[in-house]
Structure 1
Amino acid sequence: MSWNNKLLNNKFNFNNLYSLGEMERTSSESMKPRISHLEDSDSKNLGGIEYEGSSNIIELDEEFTYTEQEERQLVRKLDYFLLITIFWMYLLSYMDRTNVGNAYKSGMDVDLDIDSSKYSIVLIVFFIFYVIFEVPANLVMVKVGASRFVPAIMCAWGVSTGLTALVNSYAQLIGLRVVTAFFEAGFAPAILLILSSWYRKNEQSKRFSAYISAAILSGAFGGLIAGLITQHLHNSHGIAGWRWLFIIEGAATVAIGIIGFFTLLPLPQHMKPSKGFTERQIKIAMVRLKRDNVDNDSGDGISPLQALLGNVKSARVLMLIVGYMVIVGSSTLSYFYPTLVAGLGYSGSMIQYMTIPIYAAAFVCNLVVAFFSDRNMHLRGYILSGLLCFAGVFSVVVVTCYGYTVRYAMLCLMASALWAANALALSYAASTLADKDSKTRGVGLALINALGNLAQIYGAYLFPSTDSPKYIKGFGVITGMCFLGCATYFLSAVYTNRRLRKFDLENI
């Protein structure tokens, strides 16, 4: 008996179908016209909870039809407005987050009397406050609206970044890093919510891959750009090169933020005919998402505490948090590419140049995995498990083999697996939470992203220069984390598929 017949014969709620098993999209034509939104429950009966006062019942217009060409045109228009804007926003976000490291190497340490221990505190303070502010920021975003909130905070952290050029003491630098973290904290979870709210589940991996590719390209060329700025503008108009770095990148961030006011789309439920989108196109967008079981209800009847507890009590959300923490913690390896490449025998400008092939390999792998996983949505959890398993094996080879060529090749393969896992983990999480209202889904994605970024704190201490050239401690920890992530995502996939099979048997 097919899934559709089972659902019709048993009059059972369709809403947990994908979130439980990451199965392929079920045809909407055979769905009941009323879909009741279920809370992500770990109870035996998978019962749903309808919150009083919220619009938890969505009516599907079964008479409304549209052609495949209309849908393709809509998706192209969404890509034009969302992907291009988000790509440049994240590129600048990632550069603003990491430019303090480039400034530190370009004279800031001397001018502000910052040693390595103080520099570590500068990094840690940013990530601590970044994590603290993520969940509250996403709650504000759902209330205010994405098209105003995201560009506004981007302009704000751009100004904060530019003002960093004026600091004259370690304390002032710490203060501005806290301010920058305050504004930037809302960006990543807001973008995750926007992408998961506009695209169907079988479209999301490629879009999250495009999003992550901005960070990959920033890592590949950000150091070179920073080097050109600090070298050629040093003492121009009496301003040190590292100060110019903050001025230019801050100004660029503000410029992209202003453009975002005109190009970034609000969440679908807040969208009005504008920016070239007709009323029919907006309706197509909403209907196709509802038929794909993506909930865009605002969750007005759910309090922030209810949204938080609903995610914290979910075993699957907790597994997603653990898995993403492992990926982010292992990905701190990217901060040490120059250090590791130097340990392989390269020196001078060749260190920076030899990091570029690592990012190039990651860029290609990221795109390939995204296309494959969108075509095989039910395998996303297993693909993640496999990527982390490969990364762990490559890490073991790096620790046990000290030939420069082999170690460099292993670094390229590790980077490819970890960057691809990062993008896929985000689309996997967004798809898993697709049946939740915007508020609950926003809090869930913010929790995953926030707690995942906590891993950057301990990741910053994995590769001290005293461990060169073997770095046994760093690669040993990453190996353990990769295998933990491999087991976590594998158990997550098995867990959801077993529950789906049980759901299948109980409703024949």
Structure 2
Amino acid sequence: MSSTDEHDAAAKESGLDQGVQVLEANDGRKAQESELVHIDYTDKEERQIVRKIDAIVLLLFACIYMFQYLDKIALSYAAIFGLRTDLHLHGQEYSWASSIFYFGQFAFEWVGIYLLHKLPIKQVVGVSIVIWGAIMMCLAAANSFAGLATVRFFLGLAEGAVAPAFVILTSFWWKKKEQPIRVATFVSANAMAQIVGALLLYGCGSIKNASIKGFKISFLLAGGITILLGVTFLLVIPLTPATAWFLTPRQREIAVYRVARERASFQHNQFDMQQAWATFKDPRLYLVFLWAVLVCMTSVVVFGSIVINGLGFSPFRTLLIGLPGPAIQLLTIWLGVIGIWFFPNGRGIIQCLLILPPWIGCIMLYSLPYADKWALTGGYWLATCNSSVFVVNMSLIASNFKGHTRKTIVSFAYFIGYCVGCIAGPQMFLATETPTYPTAMRACIGLYAVYIVAQVAYLALSYYENKRRDKLAAAGDDSAIPRPASDEDNRTDLEDLSFRYVL
């Protein structure tokens, strides 16, 4: 008996249906096609399964996501507790220490995607988490800009495969309609990271007579917790729902089937040059890229502690005063989710509305006099609230792009834009302009205006294309009549005239 036959026999003996093979095939683990056997189950059974998955998988995913973001913003907290003076950072060196992380992340993305296709995803992610935790601890040993930049670069390398892996893992565990809420949970974890980071450094900075500075203790502690999370991930998270230890045999069958039936088009996973060429000619691709660049360039979080500290508050008060910022972020993220839920075809308008709070915050930081310290602090709180836009961005990408190759290219373009924006954004914050950074705020104000123009352009293209297809359908063109999407249909949204764009 071949190894493939042995695997199939084992799957049948364990009570798993052929949906397991479909799921594995879509992950590149098997080459042959498989038939998806229908399973009947009740809504109550499905809700019980989803609750279990959320309690184990989503909770651990969110914790990992939180510490991944904490790694990125650790500089902001350390900056006001002596990092810049201890490491003798001058000029734009602090800004470059922030940017260089994303050079590393972008560089490893190509290798990471290869590893995710060649090795079990669970092992790639778990080992990456352990390595990045160890590198995080190495930040405590840096004593110069060169050392800090080197560690930050390798930290980006270690985290390069985690973000795309989470996209794949999310599709393993949750159906398409369930994914936006889970994405919102991950983004909410970013806001929680700011709260946890502030409290962590507050506690570490309060340690008296320590042999090393408090911010270095926070690096060691955060790195150690990250390593623990990586080990927990390897031990607790199953490779697929088919091997979930926390589900009964029947629940495993249902967990596999409910996702596999949405992912049955694994035979389309080959790169399609025709789809690629059509996508590169589509202006929507470049608008999506521009969204990511603009949102990341306008992030002020890395410089938040410096802004508040520069207004005359002590380091410890700075940490506490900064806490309402991420709290408002959480509020806007879930307002965005609620908006999508009630107005699924109004996502472009929702994005434009979500841009208003951070846009107003930047205007306040730019225009208010230095003497209005609490008003400036309120402006900073608002300026941090652009994370909610990511949830709507991901939702639009998932809903409006069809075809495996086309969707892959668009998603990758968004990630490239993310890295470009995170690299370029810190360079707008000139060291000579602390604490309110007027040049950066002026740039952010302009970039938000460009973002709204880009969003309106995307909406206009989609709206008029929908109208054109409606006219074709009204004129008797059967191919343009709206109908439910088929998982076996690998036509792009450009080719499928029955498709309608979400606005």
* Paired position in structure 2 for 1:256: 229
Q: Is the 8 A contact 2:275 2:406 kept in 1?
A: yes
Deviations 1:221-280 (A, max 9, x none): 3133124224417634xx4544433322211111000111133354xxx54333233564
Decide whether aligned partners of structure 1 residues 441 and 488 sit closer, same or farther in structure 2, where only a CA change above 3 A counts: same
- Residue type matched to 2:150 in 1? G
Name 2:323's counterpart in structure 1: 356
> What is the letter of the counterpart of residue 73 of structure 1?
Q
- 1:323, distance to aligned residue in structure 2 (A): 0.8
2:53 and 2:440 mapped to 1: Cα distance? 41
Q: Which moved more, 1:447-456 or 1:108-117?
A: 108-117
Alignment match, 2:8: none
Query: What per-residue deviation string (whole Å, max 9, x for no partner) do you get for residues 57-93 of structure 1?
Result: 98665x5432111221222122123221111101211
Distance 1:233 1:498, change over 3 A: farther
Asked if 1:372 corresponds to 2:339, the answer is yes
User: Take 2:224 and 2:76, find their aligned partners in 1: how far apart are those partners?
Assistant: 19
* Preserved CA contact (<8 Å) 1:127 1:457: yes
Contact 1:329 1:456 in 2 (8 A): yes
Q: 65, 85, 104: which is aligned to 2:60?
A: 85
1:496 aligns with 2:469: no
Deviation for aligned residue 1:195: 2.4
Counterpart position of 1:226? 201
Counterpart for residue 247 of structure 2? 277
Aligned identity (percent) is 21
Structure 1 Cα separation of the partners of residues 316 and 58 of structure 2 = 33
- Pair 1:308–1:113, CA change in 2 (3 A): farther
Residue 455 (structure 1) aligned with residue 429 (structure 2): no
Secondary structure in structure 1 of the residue aligned to 2:243: coil
1:25 corresponds in structure 2 to none
Matching of residues 271-350 of structure 1 within 5 Å:
271-278=241-248, 280-285=250-255, 287-289=257-259, 297=266, 301-302=270-271, 312=280, 314-331=282-299, 333-342=300-309, 346-350=313-317
Describe the superposition over 1:125-181 as per-residue Cα deviations: whole angstroms up to 9, x where unpaired.
222121222244134224323322211101111112223334455444433322221
Q: CA RMSD in A?
A: 3.5
Segments of 5+ residues of structure 1 without an aligned counterpart are 1-53
Q: Given the superposition, is the C-alpha separation of residues 298 and 131 from structure 1 closer, same or farther in structure 2, using an over 3 Å criterion? A: farther
1:177-256 aligned within 5 A: 177-232=152-207, 235-236=210-211, 239-256=212-229
Cα distance in 2 between the residues matched to 1:312 and 1:301: 17
Equivalence map 1:472-483=2 (5 Å):
472-483=438-449
Shift of 1:485: 1.6
Alignment-derived partner of residue 387 in structure 1: 354
Post-superposition Cα deviations, 1:309-332, rounded to whole Å, max 9, x if no partner, equal: 78655543332221122111112x
Aligned residue type for 1:420: S
CA contact (8 A) 1:388 1:483 kept: no
Q: 1:327 to 1:378 in 2, by over 3 A?
A: same
What is the rounded CA distance, in whole Å, between the counterparts of 1:298 and 1:412 in structure 2? 48
Change (3 A) 1:341 1:497: same
Q: Secondary structure at the match of 1:482?
A: helix
What does the per-residue CA deviation read over 1:297-317, in whole Å, with 9 as the maximum and x for residues that have no partner?
Answer: 3865439x9998786555433
1:23-45 deviations in whole A, cap 9, x for unaligned? xxxxxxxxxxxxxxxxxxxxxxx
User: How many correspondences in the alignment?
Assistant: 443
Unaligned stretches of 5+ residues in structure 2: 1-29, 482-503
- State the shift of 1:213 in Å: 1.4
> Do structure 1's residue 138 and structure 2's residue 113 form an aligned pair?
yes
Assess, with a 3 A threshold, how the Cα gap between structure 1 residues 110 and 361 changes in structure 2: closer, same or farther.
closer
> Which digits, 9 at most, give the CA deviation of each residue in 1:362-407, with x for residues without a partner?
1122123213313433222331133224543453354344444544
Distance verdict in 2 for CA 1:196–1:98, change over 3 Å: same
Q: 1:374 to 1:283 in 2, by over 3 A?
A: farther
Alignment partners' CA distance in 1, 2:164 and 2:133: 18
How far apart in 1 are the matches of 2:50 and 2:205? 41
Alignment of 1:80-119 (within 5 A): 80-119=55-94
Whether the aligned pair in 1 keeps the contact of 2:173 and 2:259 (CA below 8 Å) is yes
SS in 2 for 1:454: helix
- Alignment-derived partner of residue 72 in structure 1: 47
Query: Against the structure 1 CA distance between its residues 172 and 409, is the aligned structure 2 distance closer, same or farther, given a 3 Å change threshold?
Result: closer
Does the aligned pair in 2 maintain the 1:138–1:186 contact within 8 Å? yes
Distance in 2, matches of 1:407 and 1:108, equals 24
Q: Secondary structure at the match of 1:481?
A: helix
1:484 to 435, 450, 468: 450
